Amino acid sequence: MIRYMGRSAKILGTSKYIPEKIMTNKDFEKIVETNDQWIIERTGICKRHFALDDEKCSDLAYRAAVLALEDSGLTADQIDMILVGTNSPDTVFPSVSCKVQGMLKAVNSGAIDIQAGCTGSLTALSVAASGISSGIWNNVLVIGAEVFRDIIDWTDRGTCILFGDGAGACVVGVSDSDGGFASTRLLADGTGHEMIRLESDEEHVTPVVRMKGNEVFKFVNTVMPKFIKGFCKDSGVAPEEIDFWIFHQANTRIIDGVFKRLNVSQEKTLTNLSEYGNTSAASLMITLHEAMESEKIKSGDKVCFVAFGAGMTLGALLYQA
Ligand code: COA
């Protein structure tokens, strides 16, 4: 059973916070052997943003949280739980979510970080909807935030050009109206844990991202279309009936490939890779905010969220706006 059976949970507000510092493909040409054309053709990325030296993951998460609360019309004391999807917390503990809870003075809230690779904020959204549907929470603040600046190997051209920093957030609350989160599925395949990992070696005492890019590419293109088709079938909806897709922004070629296999038009999604690169767990939340802000999602629309990431992890969520 993948359907939410209880109360309706709806998105009440969204936000993004994008740090000011920008690195273009041309900037990378100066530090590794690469070129603008190669990066654009293989990934769709033109630039990405990075946190300033004194900005940590919790700072980005807090800024996005304030904006999402403002958009929702709720105050911090009305939040029951803060869930943060991140792979680049300030420190392993205390959690980013606890720091944000303190900064917001969300005095009635708990706080949990969720580490599920780039599927982190989808997982958080899925948990938020579960908590609201079951009745244990009324309002949940979901944040995706990353500062990859410190975990990138700036000499590895296969990974350093891919990632960027940023944060996005949304407030999910109980709703009397129709729609809301309808179903969810979270899957893992830990046999693929070596495909994307954080690792230290003689040169890097602080662990950095290591990735078998080609294997990830093949894995996602093989597994995702089947996963999404199965999820849609079990949710009682055909892929072509989905009005809008919020897809994890890893690579435009991956998004194009999966959509082609699903026979879904590119017009039913939004890509922002050219502007931000892969912001990992933040990407889904940033994309959600941009889709809401540009009114690409209309009341009554069926929206499917899809993400994949290190682990390997996979996730999908069906939502009616
Ligand atoms: N600039 C120029 N050349 C590069 C390069 C760069 N930034 N990075 C790698 N190359 C080179 C490789 O060294 C290789 O050269 P060789 O043939 O002389 O050995 C060549 O390009 C092809 O490498 P390959 O890894 O096969 O390229 P690719 O087409 O698979 O593209 C990725 C590489 C990383 C863009 C692609 O594999 C990818 O996007 N994978 C998915 C990654 C992802 O989404 N991760 C996050 C998941 S949440």
Q: What pLDDT sits at residue 178?
A: 85
Q: From atom 32 of ligand 1, which residue's Cα is the shortest distance away?
A: 213
Distance CA 160, CA 180 (A): 38
Ligand 1 centroid – CA 158 distance (Å):
5
Distance CA 36, CA 188 (A): 34
- Best substitution site from 43, 151, 214 to test ligand 1's pocket, by max atoms within 8 Å of Cβ? 214
Q: What pLDDT sits at residue 154?
A: 96
- Best substitution site from 154, 198, 217 to test ligand 1's pocket, by max atoms within 8 Å of Cβ? 217
Tens-level pLDDT at each residue, the chain (321 residues): 799 999 999 999 999 999 999 999 999 999 999 999 999 999 999 999 999 999 999 999 999 999 999 999 999 999 999 999 999 999 999 999 999 999 999 999 999 999 999 999 999 999 999 999 999 999 999 999 999 999 999 999 999 999 999 999 999 999 988 899 999 999 999 999 999 999 999 888 899 999 999 999 999 999 999 999 999 999 999 999 999 999 999 999 999 999 999 999 989 999 999 999 999 999 999 999 999 999 999 999 999 999 999 999 999 999 999
Residue 197 Cβ < 6 Å to ligand 1: no
Atom of ligand 1 nearest to the CA of 117: 48
Distance CA 158, CA 50 (A): 18
Q: What is the DSSP string of 41-84?
A: HHH--SEEEE--TT--HHHHHHHHHHHHHHHHT--GGG-SEEEE
Atom of ligand 1 nearest to the CA of 28: 7
Atom of ligand 1 nearest to the CA of 42: 35
Plot region of 286 (φ>0 → left; ψ -120 to 50 → alpha; else → beta): alpha
Tell if the pTM clears 0.85, that is, is over it.
yes
Distance CA 257, CA 127 (A): 29
Give the N- to C-terminal CA distance of the chain in Å, as an integer: 22
Is 170 catalytic? The answer is: no
Q: Go through the domains of the chain in sequence order and give each one's CATH number.
A: 1-321 (3.40.47.10)
Q: From atom 44 of ligand 1, which residue's Cα is the shortest distance away?
A: 250
Tokens 């070629």 belong to 253
Q: From atom 31 of ligand 1, which residue's Cα is the shortest distance away?
A: 42
Is 278 catalytic? The answer is: yes
Contacts of residues 55-58 at CB distance under 8 Å and 24 or more positions apart, as own/partner, are 55/19, 55/147, 56/90, 56/147, 57/86, 57/88, 57/89, 57/90, 57/96, 57/145, 57/146, 57/147, 57/167, 58/89, 58/90, 58/96, 58/99, 58/100, 58/103, 58/145
Residue 43 Cβ < 6 Å to ligand 1: yes
Distance CA 153, CA 34 (A): 15
Strand-pair partners of 48: 23
Residue 38 Cβ < 6 Å to ligand 1: yes
Q: What pLDDT sits at residue 165?
A: 98
Residue 157 Cβ < 6 Å to ligand 1: yes
